[in-house]
Each structure stands twice: as C-alpha cells, then as structure tokens.
Amino acid sequence: MGSGEDAYGVLSVDPTGEHADVGQIARYGAGLLRFCKGHWFARVLAEKETKRTRAAVFALGHELARAIAEESGFPDMLHLLPAEGLRPDSTTYFHTQITLNQLCYVSHENLLSLGADTDAVLAEYSAGAAEAKLLLVRYPSAARCRTARDALLEAYLKCRSVQSDPVVCPVEDAGAAGVQAAPPYLVVVLGAPDATAARDLLSRAVGRLPGGANNG
Amino acid sequence: MVSRGIRTLTNEQSEKSAWAHLFRPSDVVGIKFSRCGWMRVPTRQEVIDAVSAGLKTVPVDAGKIHAADSGLPASMCTALINATSLKAHTLTGFAAAIKNYINFHPNPQQYHSESGRNLGEIWLRPELKGKTRLVVLDLITPYFGSGPQIDPRYQADYRGVLLATDPVAADTVALHLCQRMRDRHRGKPWPISPPPFFLSAADKEYHLGTADPARIKLVRLGWEENTLV
C-alpha cells in the first residue's frame, strides 16, 4: 500500500477475527490470515482449514512478516476517538465513499465529499443497550468540511435551514443522527437510539479534537 | 436437488414432463452462469450439468444448449436459464439472479453505481427481454460477506438450490437468506450495505417480477434444519 496507514486501513475494513501475533496487527479465521506491517497488507489463505494448514498459514505469515523490515505508525486519527463505550474491533480507517457505504450506508451520492485526500474513521459505540456509530472525517480544507456538513444536513438529516452546530435530528428508519463541523474535522453520529445518545457521543468526540469544541 | 426442484416447481411427476413444462425441443437455450472465480462463489459445474441434463430430457438437442458466463449468444437463444450463485456485494449489496445479467451489457461497470439501481433495465435489452424461463440459484456455499476478496468465515455450508420462474422473487428470497446468515454469524443485526435498491426497481420500475414476500410462495424440500428462510 501507499502508506502504513493505508495498510492498516485495508485490514480494518473488517477488524473482526481471532487476534494473531503476526506483523503489527493480524487477524485469523477459517484458514485466512490477514496482517499489516509497514506499508504492506498481506493475506495468506488455505483452501481448507485443518490443523496442518493453520500451522502452514501461520508459518508462511511469520516468514512474510520477517521479510518486511519496516514498521509504521497507525492512523493518528485513531487517537481522537473517545475511549468510553468504544466497542473492540469495530474501528475502520478509510478514505472513500465506497467503503463508507459498505460499512454504514448514507447515500449513493458522495455527500461527505470523501476521496483519496480525506481521512475517515468509523467506529461503533455502545449507547446504553443499543449502539451508535461515530464517523470522523478530516478534510484538506475548512471550506470542504463545511460543504460536506451542509450537504449531509440537507440530504441525509433533511435539515434545510442553516442551523448552528451541533445539529441532531431523527432519521427515517435510522435512529438519530448528529453532525458538528470543527474544521478541518467533521464529526457525525449515525444510528444512535435517540437524540440524547447522539448528542452525548457527538459532544465527547468533538471534545477530543485539536482545539476542542471552539472550532466552528 | 435440481431434478426434485423442477418437478415441484412445475407440479409434474417426471423430470421429462417438468422440463417440458418450461422448454420445447425447438428451443435454443442459453444458460447464463457465473464464474466469479476470485470470490470462489461460482455456479458449480454440477448444477450447470444438472440443468443441461434436464433440458436434454425434453429433448433439447445438446447442440442447442449454450452455457457461458460472458459471451453467451443470447440473440440466438429462444429461452434463457439464469443459473448463478448468491453473494453479498460491495457495490450493489448482494448479487444473485438480477445482477447475473450484467455481463450482457457492453459497459457493465456503469451498473455498479447507485448500488446498481438500474440493473433491471439490462433484462429489457432486445436479446434478453422475456426469454428467462427459469432461475436456478446455486446455494450450496453462498457467500454472505461483502468482499471483494474472499473471507472463508463468510462462506456458508448451506447445501441448497433454489429454483424459480420469477427472478425478482428468487432474489427476494436470496436476499432474506443472505441477511439471516449475516445476522446469525455476528449474533446481532449486520445489515447488508449498501441496500440493494435494484431489487425494488426490478419490481416497480422494470416489472420483472415481484419483491413482495406476501406474493411469493416458497416451497421447502429436504432438510428443514437451518434453512433460515
């Protein structure tokens, strides 16, 4: 991959699975080993899982990892996620609309103006007995951040009038959602059980951003 | 399974009568299957062979049976059989009968946008329109993870086959099955995403069949355990 962050990102599209000690981060299940190290993402797949093939997959995985000398850091945005309520193995780092819609459908239109030059993190949180998703997007410019916010308000939250942030609304068949722009960051809560939960998660996320809630 | 399925679908006692219920000796039949090799969710050769063998009982001459993934000579065919597998799909939500015809379009990639909403319009192309008489979904090992690369955790040992005359109804049942597999695997709702908007459009806009579960008669044969639908 182009970077260690992107290697991590490919693995994190599905962060579930048995944790394995290969490379920097690894997951295993049903004969498939996935790991990232440096800017490399690797898959080692057995046709059929047996004790022998599992051992072979791991042996090959370790050999590959040893051949990769570099290691790299993980996406810095991961540190912006509030820790309280964060569900384990639920965080994905990505760039594009395709990945977002694969994880949590928003719209067939690229409302959030996602692309190769944007960084995004999506994570699942416990909200009481229910759950909510937190989406954090970092844009190359404040203007693009605000444009994305406005597009999301109009087309997804159906809030046409310009309102001051944070904006929290019910979404048809999708619980409650919230959005707050703190350029260059856009913070979005999706699928919260109610407005209170959405507002709470939004507030905690914004509070962890550089500059906190004073950006706007 | 295919033999028993076609006899039940057509309410005929013999395999010959069952296939003759849908096909004539004068037919030229195209079997559109799916290779999907990279995802390891192909239409199994055994399913394709069972369909071909069934056609030959009509009898449809072997020289008038064409089977292909791409390049099927649909213009020459008087009848089509949609024989594909079931998988969740990164761009369209899931893929089964309706999406199987994407290869008939010269630019299939355009149908991956907007969650493939307009997939149904491919079925209205002159060389295809009105020709599909049978859908055979290979559900032996359906794939319920979204790919695009195979993850064996998400390949089910389902051991089934679904036969239908209505491709939208077939896909509606397949969608429900795929969703149930996902939810069962994670122990909580794991929504298929993006939503397969093409299914409703195939019903309401392109009139290819029904996506209304109330109007679909599902007949189960064989094992009842873990059928999920």
Tokens representing residue A43 in the block: 């898959």
Rounded distance, CA A201 to CA A191, Å? 11
Tokens representing residue A148 in the block: 């994305």
Give the residue numbers in A contacting B (CB under 8 Å), as ranges. 14, 17, 29-32, 43, 45, 49, 98, 101-105, 108
The answer for residues whose C-beta is within 8 angstroms of residue A97's C-beta and 6 or more apart is: A110, A112, A114, A115
Edge-to-edge, what's the strand order for the sheet holding A185-192? A92-94, A119-127, A130-138, A185-192, A176-182, A167-170
Q: State the pLDDT at residue A162.
A: 59
Whether B138 contacts B31, CB under 8 Å: no
DSSP A186-215: EEEEEEESSHHHHHHHHHHHHHTSTTGGG-
Q: Give pLDDT tens digits along chain B (229 positions).
A: 999 999 999 999 999 999 999 999 999 999 999 987 777 789 999 999 999 999 999 999 999 999 999 999 999 999 999 999 999 998 899 999 999 999 999 998 888 777 689 999 999 999 999 999 999 999 999 999 977 788 999 999 999 999 999 999 999 999 999 999 999 999 999 999 999 999 999 999 999 999 999 999 999 999 888 899 9
B15-44: b (≥16 Cβ within 10 Å) or e: beebbbbbbeeebbbbbbbbebeebbbbbb
The answer to whether the Cβ–Cβ distance between B152 and A17 falls below 8 Å is no
Sole residue written with tokens 């079997």: B31
Dihedral Cα A90, A96, A97, A99, nearest 10 deg: -40
Rounded distance, CA A187 to CA A135, Å? 6
Q: Is the pTM of this model over 0.80?
A: yes
The answer to whether the Cβ–Cβ distance between A102 and B150 falls below 8 Å is no
Nearest CA in chain B to A99: B90
The answer to whether the Cβ–Cβ distance between A108 and B90 falls below 8 Å is no
Q: State the pLDDT at residue B209.
A: 98
pLDDT tens by residue, B175-229: 999 999 999 999 999 999 999 999 999 999 999 999 999 999 999 999 888 899 9
Which of B186, B193, B198 to mutate to test binding with chain A, by most A CBs within 10 Å of its CB? Answer: B193
Nearest CA in chain B to A44: B151
Q: State the pLDDT at residue A214.
A: 42
Residue B149, chain A, CB below 8 Å: the answer is: yes
Q: State the pLDDT at residue A215.
A: 43
Which one of A31, A98, A102 has the shortest CB-CB distance to B152? A31
Helices in A111-194 by DSSP H: which ranges?
142-155
Q: State the pLDDT at residue A183.
A: 95
Residue B146, chain A, CB below 8 Å: the answer is: yes
Q: Which of B50, B58, B77 is nearest to B66 (CA)?
A: B77
Q: Which of A180, A163, A179, A182 is nearest to A171 (CA)?
A: A179
Which one of A17, A43, A103 has the shortest CB-CB distance to B193? A103
Q: Which of A93, A28, A81, A95 is nearest to A205 (CA)?
A: A81
Query: What is the DSSP secondary structure assignment for residue B35, as one 8-state letter?
Result: -
Residue A121: how many other CB atoms lie within 10 Å: 22
> Within chain A, which residues score under 50 in pLDDT?
213-216
Q: Which of B102, B226, B124, B229 is nearest to B174 (CA)?
A: B229
Rounded distance, CA A75 to CA B157, Å? 37
- To the nearest whole Å, the CA of B98 is away from the closest chain A CA by 19
Tokens representing residue B157 in the block: 């040992």
Q: State the pLDDT at residue A158.
A: 82
ipTM confidence: 0.90
Nearest CA in chain A to B117: A108
Angle at B84 between CA B81 and CA B88, to 5 degrees: 145
The answer to whether the Cβ–Cβ distance between A14 and B91 falls below 8 Å is no
The answer to whether the Cβ–Cβ distance between B150 and A14 falls below 8 Å is no
**Chain A residues with beta carbon closer than 8 angstroms to that of B145:** 14
Rounded distance, CA B202 to CA B98, Å? 8
